[in-house]
Amino acid sequence: MKLEELRYGTELIKRGFAKMQKGGVIMDVTNPEQAEIAESAGAVAVMALQAVPADIRAAGGVARMADPQTILEIMDAVTIPVMAKVRIGHFVEAEILEALGVDMIDESEVLTPADEQFHIDKKRFKVPFVCGARDLGEALRRIDEGAAMIRTKGEAGTGDVKEAVRHMRLIQSAIRELKGKTEEELKLVARKIEAPFELVKETAELGRLPVVNFAAGGIATPADAALMMKLGADGVFVGSGIFKSEQPEKMASAIVEAVNNYENPEVLAEVSKGLGSPMKGIDARTLSEEEALQTRGW
């Protein structure tokens, strides 16, 4: 094998990684014990964090990348992929995570943005990125910057699914509206939603985003997860929903099964039984503009 013939970090490799996550549940964890619980429940990956979004929200202050020590301990504890978050625009945090060997980087609005103008230039990294989006224009801008995966922003740390639903519906309906449009009309759309024409065209041809699209931000029960799958998500991220619930092991397994059986209400009924209290949550509508995380990034 000639080493120079191996091509690392290509678009195919980065987007391919995201495709392997499809139909899966990615769980937020803050220590190796939680990571092991997630892995044995059937999570496809874990997101290593210093604190889950509900606690980040409660603590206030500036939220930053997790301690590399915590991330490494989690990487050692499980065999499934480990992801971690960086602040929007903080490319040095991203370089640190790449150096650690994290499998995917989430440029996340859950942390306090580091740059008010620019998201990270994700194309220059070998590690794939996932980014949040509220609508089609935002999703395509992130893909243009090199994101290999998109997730709805939702409203993290609330346990209220309505914002994730809104974002998923907005993205899906905008994609449906592209159907049958002429090239000139697609150019008009591209200008309007502030996205590159080539990506608008590709999305119109595919009838879906050019990369994997997960749901995130407020998913707290098996029914929430199945709802997002029904709305067209390729998989789900569950943040505070698992380890802020009364019985994390049970909740984790139930959400994994719900995602596999999202079209089967009998199974959903079965897995939803006796899970104890889900996370308490906050109605996302009661948040002030400063408290909302989804408006970070553009």
Q: Are 65 and 76 contacting, i.e. CB atoms less than 8 angstroms apart? A: no
Residues between 114 and 133 that touch other proteins (CB under 8 A): 126-128
| 144 backbone dihedrals φ, ψ, rounded to 5° | -60, -35
Q: Where are the beta strands (DSSP E) in 114-235?
A: 129-133, 149-152, 212-214
Q: Give me the sheet containing 149-152, strands edge to edge.
A: 212-214, 149-152, 129-133, 104-108, 82-87, 45-48, 25-29, 236-238
Q: How far is the CB of 95 from other proteins (least distance, A)?
A: 12
Scored b (16 or more CB within 10 A) or e, 115-141 reads eeeebbebeebebbbbbbbbbbbbbbb
User: HSE on the CB side for 54, CA within 13 Å?
Assistant: 23
Tell me: does residue 24 bind other proteins (CB under 8 A): yes
Scored b (16 or more CB within 10 A) or e, 279-288 reads bebbebeebe
Whole-number Cα distances in Å, 156 to 80, 210, 215, 284 = 23, 24, 11, 9
Nearer to other proteins, 6 or 62 (CB): 6
Q: Which of 60, 61, 69, 79 binds other proteins (CB under 8 A)?
A: 79
Q: Which of 12, 58, 206, 269 binds other proteins (CB under 8 A)?
A: 12
**Which range, of 47-55, 162-170, 198-206, 252-260, touches other proteins by CB under 8 A?**
252-260
Nearer to other proteins, 193 or 267 (CB): 267
Tell me: does residue 39 bind other proteins (CB under 8 A): yes
- Token output for 98: 């790449």
**Which range, of 164-172, 186-194, 195-203, 256-264, touches other proteins by CB under 8 A?**
256-264
Tell me: does residue 19 bind other proteins (CB under 8 A): yes
Catalytic residue list contains 181: no
Q: Which of 149, 256, 268, 284 binds other proteins (CB under 8 A)?
A: 256
Q: How far is the CB of 130 from other proteins (least distance, A)?
A: 12
Q: Which of 31, 64, 73, 80 binds other proteins (CB under 8 A)?
A: 80
Q: Which residues are catalytic?
A: 85
Q: Using CB under 8 A as the criterion, which residues of the chain lie in contact with other proteins when the complex forms?
A: 1, 5-10, 12-13, 16-17, 19-24, 36, 39-45, 78-81, 98, 101-104, 126-128, 256-257, 260-261, 264
